[in-house]
Amino acid sequence: MTSATTNEREIIAALDIGSNSFHLIVARIVDGSIQTLHKVKQRVRLAQGLSADGTLNQAAIDRAIDTLKQMAQTLQDIPSHNVRVVATYTLRKATNVQEFLNQIESVFPYPIEIIPGKEEARLIYQGVAHTVAGDENRIVIDIGGGSTEFIIGQHFTPLKLSSRSMGCVSFTEQYFPQGKITERNFQKAILAAERELEPIADSYKSVGWKSAHGTSGTIKAIRESIVQNGWSDGEIKANHLEKLKQTLITFENINNIDIPGVSEHRRPVLAGGLAVLIAAFDSLNISSMRYEDAALREGVLYEMEDRFQHHDIRERTVESLSQRYAVDTAQAARVHRSANFIFEQISDSWQLNKKDFQQLLSWAASLHEVGLHIHSTGYHKHSGYILEHTDMPGYNLEQQLAVATLVRYHRKKLKSAEIANFNFYKSNKIVRLIRILRIAVMLNLRRIEGYLPQYKVSVAGEALAIQFPDGFLSEQPLLEADLHSEVEMQTDAGFDFSFS
């Protein structure tokens, strides 16, 4: 490894665009542990700007723009490939997320990965698992602004992952109108949270755990208030939560809250977060909990380091899905080789960088036949549906949709007008990858090893041409017929494809 590579890897940064706060951490990972260099936390309360129909209002977007502009200044001296930005509940739910991304693009030049709820839960657990010793089962709870994540894990392996639609911002707004704190409002919020937990409670309790750990600002504030009131030395128990609830009720309104250990910024959302935690203790029979400082951003950092070391969980996800759906791995490998062979010849001309687009193509080639597990007829549609809707640890929402899209259109009609809009990837480049994958699949329809010669692929604009050695196609009439069919389908889609 060169010294330049070492220097580039020395400093890494993770930014968590949360529903309540934006958290930035700049660090080095030394001997498997995070050495924090700088931390920034800004309360933006994105979830406060999310309407009932899922629209994120302009005031919330403006707050985000102002904060991200500051964050960009902090990150400007760090190589962009050493920066990872993840967004959670509010941007998952916002129907106008593309408008948000368009507006922040000019002030924040880093790609934003919107991650699924279970992926958020997995990363939170990774952050805790790297900082809390022990091999016995543990439950981790992270109360965010719009969602709360519940994870049971053992050592570094998550056993149960769930993200529930309840958070300190959303619950405070919904169940404590005009900031009124009453016993009745608390009971409504607690009951709503218990209903949200009902689908997972029994399965979580059946797996069980030896210790409970809480992360996030809400649980930190609850722990601090309990300690400073002299009720505990740091351990959180159900009776402490009840005492805190009764204390909040005495203030009657959120604006009047004045509790040691609860900052001015935390007070407006404490009631909703407390209701969620009370419901979690009740529904899951939690006896006691300890607060942990590590959370999503630390999990992101540790995973970045794993990727630098070529330990990418996304590759394990591909292997797991291949096994689950009994994929013909020999055929997947043939398609994979052909797709990469074509990619290498035309990636420069089509401006497809290897880091992002070759990965997508490789994943899609490996998984294009998962739908055969359902039925051979229309299996490409089954494959696309499975990959769009299954859990794919390590993938953000756009990566998952991109892989599903490549697989969905790898055969039969190519309907480019139906392809979703992308932000992380440009849609025209996704279409180019689809065309590469289609040809790679078509060349290997016979499922025979090593029969293909060294062929050449070239592009001129969007026109794609493949040239075989003289005499090869005259000996392969079935392949020639398949090529003619592909020419017709790509022509119908508005693309020029030729062979000779």
Query: pLDDT, tens digit, for every residue of 155-189?
Result: 999 999 999 999 999 999 999 999 999 999 999 99
User: Which region among 84-88, 270-274, 416-420, 490-494 has the lowest average model confidence (pLDDT)?
Assistant: 416-420
Q: How many other C-beta atoms can be found within 10 angstroms of the C-beta atom of residue 195?
A: 12
At 61, give phi and psi (nearest 5°).
-60, -40
Q: Which residues contact 407 (CB under 8 A, 6 or more apart)?
A: 364, 367, 368, 370, 371, 380, 383, 384, 387, 437
Q: How many other C-beta atoms can be found within 10 angstroms of the C-beta atom of residue 196?
A: 19
Condensed to tens digits (0 to 9), the pLDDT of residues 242-265 reads 999 999 999 999 999 999 889 888
At 334, give phi and psi (nearest 5°).
-65, -45
Chain centroid to CA 342: 29
Q: Which of 226, 224, 88, 65 lies closest to 144, judged by CA? A: 88
Q: How much is the average pLDDT of 8-25?
A: 89
pLDDT of residue 496: 96
pLDDT of residue 310: 67
> Pairing mode, if any, of strands 211-215 and 288-291?
parallel
User: Which region among 285-289, 351-355, 409-413 has the lowest average model confidence (pLDDT)?
Assistant: 351-355
Q: Look up residue 306 and give its amino acid.
A: D
H helices present in 215-358, as ranges:
217-228, 238-251, 267-284, 296-308, 313-324, 329-346
H helices present in 285-426, as ranges:
296-308, 313-324, 329-346, 359-367, 379-389, 397-408
Q: How much is the average pLDDT of 69-76?
A: 95
Reported as type and span, the H/E element at residue 433 is: helix 427-443
Q: How many other C-beta atoms can be found within 10 angstroms of the C-beta atom of residue 500?
A: 10
Predicted confidence (pLDDT) at residue 8 exceeds the cutoff of 50 = no
Reported as type and span, the H/E element at residue 170 is: helix 168-175
Per-residue burial over 280-312, b if 16 or more Cβ lie within 10 Å, else e, is bbbbbebeebebbebbbbbbbbbbbbeebeeee
Predicted confidence (pLDDT) at residue 326 exceeds the cutoff of 70 = yes
Q: How much is the average pLDDT of 292-309?
A: 87
Predicted confidence (pLDDT) at residue 420 exceeds the cutoff of 90 = no
Cβ distance 265 to 43 under 8 Å? yes
Confidence of residue 462 (pLDDT cuts 50, 70, 90): very high
DSSP string for residues in 14-35: EEEE-SSEEEEEEEEEETTEEE
pLDDT of residue 5: 42
Provide the whole-model pTM. Answer: 0.87
The average confidence (pLDDT) of the chain is 93
The Cα 50–Cα 91 span in angstroms is 9
pLDDT of residue 145: 93
Predicted confidence (pLDDT) at residue 63 exceeds the cutoff of 90 = yes
Confidence of residue 2 (pLDDT cuts 50, 70, 90): very low
Confidence of residue 422 (pLDDT cuts 50, 70, 90): confident
Condensed to tens digits (0 to 9), the pLDDT of residues 481-497 reads 999 999 999 999 999 99
The Cα 218–Cα 273 span in angstroms is 6
The Cα 393–Cα 61 span in angstroms is 29
Cβ distance 244 to 145 under 8 Å? no
pLDDT of residue 171: 96
Q: How many other C-beta atoms can be found within 10 angstroms of the C-beta atom of residue 189?
A: 24
Q: Which residues contact 122 (CB under 8 A, 6 or more apart)?
A: 151, 158, 161, 299, 393
The Cα 370–Cα 403 span in angstroms is 12
Confidence of residue 33 (pLDDT cuts 50, 70, 90): confident
Terminal Cα-to-Cα distance of the chain (whole angstroms): 44
The Cα 362–Cα 367 span in angstroms is 9
The Cα 54–Cα 324 span in angstroms is 35
The Cα 302–Cα 156 span in angstroms is 12
Give the residues across from 213 on adjacent strands. 140, 290
The Cα 378–Cα 490 span in angstroms is 18
Confidence of residue 460 (pLDDT cuts 50, 70, 90): very high
Condensed to tens digits (0 to 9), the pLDDT of residues 423-458 reads 888 889 999 999 999 999 999 999 999 889 999 999
pLDDT of residue 204: 98
pLDDT of residue 34: 80
At 409, give phi and psi (nearest 5°).
-110, 25
Confidence of residue 417 (pLDDT cuts 50, 70, 90): confident
- 3-state secondary structure (DSSP) of residue 13: strand
CA dist list (Å): 255 to 90, 188, 229, 238, 251: 25, 20, 20, 25, 8
Condensed to tens digits (0 to 9), the pLDDT of residues 132-142 reads 888 899 999 99
Q: How buried is 231 (Cβ within 10 angstroms: 0-12 exposed, 13-18 middle, 19+ buried)?
A: middle
Predicted confidence (pLDDT) at residue 4 exceeds the cutoff of 80 = no
Q: How much is the average pLDDT of 13-19?
A: 96
CA dist list (Å): 418 to 94, 259, 430, 491, 493: 21, 54, 12, 16, 11
Q: How much is the average pLDDT of 463-471?
A: 96
Predicted confidence (pLDDT) at residue 308 exceeds the cutoff of 80 = no
Q: Token pair of 3, please?
A: 């010294």
Q: How much is the average pLDDT of 194-218?
A: 96
Q: Look up residue 12 and give its amino acid.
A: I
Give ∠ CA 50-56-57 in degrees, rounded to 5. 100
Residue with tokens 């529904």: 283
Q: Which residue has the higher pLDDT, 32 or 144?
A: 144
pLDDT of residue 3: 37
